Amino acid sequence: MSNFEKQKAFSVKDLTIIALFTAILCVVSPFTIPVGLVPISVSSLAIFLACAVLGTVKSTVAVSVYILIGLTGLPVYSSFTGGFGVLFGVTGGFIIGYIPCALVTSVILKAFENKKSLYFIAFTVGTIVLYLCGVGYYTLAYQVTFSVAILTCVVPFIVVDIIKIILATTLTIILKPKLKQFKNHG
Q: How far apart are CA 184 and CA 98, in angstroms?
A: 30
Interval 100-132: pLDDT, tens: 999 999 999 999 876 888 999 999 999 999 999
Please, are residues 101 and 126 in contact by the beta-carbon 8 Å criterion?
Answer: yes
Domain count of the fold of the chain: 1
Q: Residue 175 burial by CB count (10 A; 0-12/13-18/19+): exposed, middle or buried? A: middle
* pLDDT of 68: 98
Please, are residues 169 and 184 in contact by the beta-carbon 8 Å criterion?
Answer: no
Which domain range does residue 165 map to?
3-185
* pLDDT of 115: 83
- Burial per residue of 86-122, b for 16 or more beta-carbon CB atoms within 10 angstroms, e otherwise: bbebbbbbbbbbbbbbbbbbbbbbeeeeeeeebbbeb
* pLDDT of 34: 86
DSSP 86: G
Q: How far apart are CA 63 and CA 100, in angstroms?
A: 10
* pLDDT of 186: 43
* pLDDT of 3: 54
The answer, as to whether pTM is greater than 0.75, is yes
Interval 152-168: pLDDT, tens: 999 999 999 999 999 99
Q: What is the CATH number of the domain that holds 163?
A: 1.10.1760.20
pLDDT level of residue 185 (50, 70, 90 thresholds):
very low
Interval 33-79: pLDDT, tens: 888 778 889 999 999 999 999 999 999 999 999 999 999 999 999 99
Q: How far apart are CA 11 and CA 4, in angstroms?
A: 16
